[in-house]
Structure 1
Amino acid sequence: MIFVVDDLHNKDLSEVYMKWNEMYLLSRLETFKESDLKIFKKAIDDWTNLFIKLFQNISELKFSKLHSWKYHIIDTIWKYEAINRYTTETYESLHKTYVKIPYRLSNKRDVETQIMKIIWRKAIILQKQMEKKYKTSVPLNYTSKLFDFKFSEASEFCEKQKNNSNLNEKMRKGFTQFFNHLKLDFLKIISTDTQIKIFGSVTLNNSTFLCATNKYYDNPWFSNIAVIMDTDELFNYQSNSGTCYAQTLLVTQIVLSNKSLYLALVQWYDFKSRNTPFVYGCPWLELVEKYNFIEIEAIEEIVHIVPRFDKKNEYFVNKYIF
């Protein structure tokens, strides 16, 4: 990491940053022995001395935290044990998660309302995940096996299928993405003999029917799905109360030596507008060039997504279908 600020050399700033990290990591210990405190004291002195040397001409150094680190932390640990039990760090972390990040995601208008909505969405996701965690699992029922090949054959097989004019455009698109994402996500756990199966459909845990097939009663059918977001990704993407939408391109089973992975390769929808995510009371979406594998069990439900009349790459989630 390189720093340049005014006349200070980047080497000095890099060093003070490194010493801060060393000191901070030591401060995170859950318990301290006497030898740990000696090492910690030296790390504090090294950092504070260099910090004061670098910045004494720039500032009067009237920093309460600097004073606390230099003169009080070690004595406080002797008296009250590990500092992460009583510092403000927990509250600073909560402030970042529940105020700073939601604020950055807002459009800076009616901020408090937007922050509350974002936090509310996170609570909904957590609730859904808890409900799913304790829900009785139903075995997945795969039907209509379309292809069966080994990982060693996957590259050649996908290359052949993505140019197969007998396949629907969506399935060809799936095979275009399949091998690269297979390597990206699962290379560490698969071998050349790993068996890969592609199916046309699967019955989900809620008994609904998911399709990704070139022919279903002589018509192509690639199900649109609602997917429960991971809480760690909630603030990275816009969602509908914790739900994102995707189109299924391929349904696959990867047979490992000790278990099987039940996956769907999907292409994601995103909201057409951050400022106007809903039109006519329905999520207003567009298909984006983003693909990846998801676990079949992450699928919340099959949804009805319809194209917007006379518009290119605009879709609505039909909220009025029963």
Structure 2
Amino acid sequence: LGEIRDQQAYLERLSQQAGALAAKVDEAEARWEQITEQLRTTRAELDAARQEYARLRDELDERARQAYMNGPGDQLEFLLGATSLADLSDRVAFVDALTRTDADLANRVANLRNELADRAAQEQRLQDRAAAALREKQADYAALEAKLAEQQRVLDDLAAKKARAEELVKDLRKQWREELAALTGLHIDPNGILQVCPVDQPRAVYDGFGAPRYAGGYHPHAGNDIIAPMGTPIRAPFPGTARASWNTLGGNAVYVYGANGYVYNAHLSAYSDKSNGPVQTGDIIGYVGETGDTDTPHDHFEWHPNVIPSNWPASPYGYSVIGTAVNPWPLLQAVC
């Protein structure tokens, strides 16, 4: 029993560490998305400036060709052809206007050339920042994968003692619910909402509800991400009806509708034979993936209750409710 508790405590520490690493991955990905969007905008502006520069250069070259072909005597002949003082005054004004137009055109070309150099330098700086952000994200994800692998090794060792380990987990969950009720005055009964963790081990769960997102335009993150290896089973957290779906941001997705509301799972790598139709608690409804607008395998998990609770605990980002989605972190803490 003491060994099981030691291993369970170690596993809990690993889960907390994995959660912290998952949050770092999320922050690094958000920075990378933001810089990438700035880079796309800068490149579009740079392309437009290059096209305008080419047009002005062509116009300036054409004016130079005309001046060369006409020669220096052309303007003099034009002025000497005046038939009166008034006519001469008009012709002088016309020649001055042409000269100013050529000078303005040359200045515009020079200014735009300088602007192109500045934009090119800005693009290079953004490329460097994007590359650094990508390296940071990859390093954080590599550390997270190592932590998940370590979790798996502990889980494999605990498999032989599964019955006792499950009893200990139940005790810890009960203790957690009692502590949360004492802190918040709320009574959370996970048996009436989430009855199992939506994603199998190894996994990393963290409270990213309300975190900034930039893909598809800025919006707060309306769920919690459960990061796990590609292909990890995703399960129905309560009995109800599953419905497979797809969208640009979430990719392959599955809803599960139950007595108290519904949950939404996104970025699945594949569906299962239970992705549509009646499901029981624990049925596999799909598998962790990276479809949609992400390159990190995880289950984007949302909880949409039939009744929005009041005084629900806020996330570290200050959000309890976004639209009809309620922060699922307290429920996930109880079952994952």
Q: Tell me the TM-score range normalised by the shorter chain.
A: under 0.3
Q: Which has the higher contact order (CA 8 A, sep 6+)?
A: 2
Larger Cα-atom Rg: 2
What TM-score, normalized by structure 2, do the two folds share?
0.23
What TM-score, normalized by structure 1, do the two folds share?
0.24
More helix by proportion, 1 or 2? 2
